[in-house]
Chains A and B, each alone.
Chain A
């Protein structure tokens, strides 16, 4: 089944404890992206990647890191999480960067930072 998977789905952590949220797609998509969703603010793009080894900042990149060493994986790294990073995170992918409109979204990761 073609899909975007994220792990974990739920995570509660404490301030300053490094964490990684994994994202993987099995559709051979070139473009991958991370969003955070907060009430009343919709989805805001954190980082995106047009292809392997190519990453760019989105609207709200501060406090996050990403890497794209392989085509299928695009992990989101929080080196020192803070409470304002408590949010619902979505990974998305599309076949090509020019087909960003046909993005497939993962199921989401709900992160709580205490």
Chain B
């Protein structure tokens, strides 16, 4: 299957700092998604991006769909303790093989109050 490289793998930041994480792929995707997973829970969708170049915000979160369709980033501004969790990017591609949703390896975010 396709590979998504997500970085950084983990971040330990001070409350109030901004956070940036990104995903890159060797192949193009039609859609990029960003999820957050809290401990003991399943992932929850944060932002969905449908067009190359699209920039979308959801509160303190901003994500962009790269022009090349091979990358995406997620920024979190003014981090707070409840931002702690694992953030996953995911790319969707529909082709002859079917509907495939490929996830990155995750970025573990830790916020120090």
Contacts and interface: CB of A to CB of B under 8 A. Distances in A.
Nearest to A6: B42
Contact of A101 (B4, B31, B104, B106): B31
A105 B44 contact: yes
A36 B43 CA distance: 12
B1 interface: yes
B9 interface: yes
Contacts of A108: 40-42
A4 B43 CA distance: 12
Contacts, number: 62
13 contacts: A40-B9, A42-B105, A43-B43, A43-B88, A45-B101, A45-B102, A56-B99, A59-B1, A60-B1, A100-B92, A102-B48, A105-B42, A106-B42
Given A92-B42, A108-B41, A100 B104 contact: no
Nearest to A48: B99
A33 B1 CA distance: 17
Interface of B: 1, 4, 6, 9, 31, 33, 40-45, 48, 88, 90, 92, 98-106
| Overall SS of chain B's interface | strand
Nearest to B49: A101
Most buried by A among B4, B88, B100, B101: B101
Interface in A59-114: 59-60, 90, 92, 97, 100-108
A59 B33 contact: no
Given A101-B33, A108-B40, A56 B88 contact: no
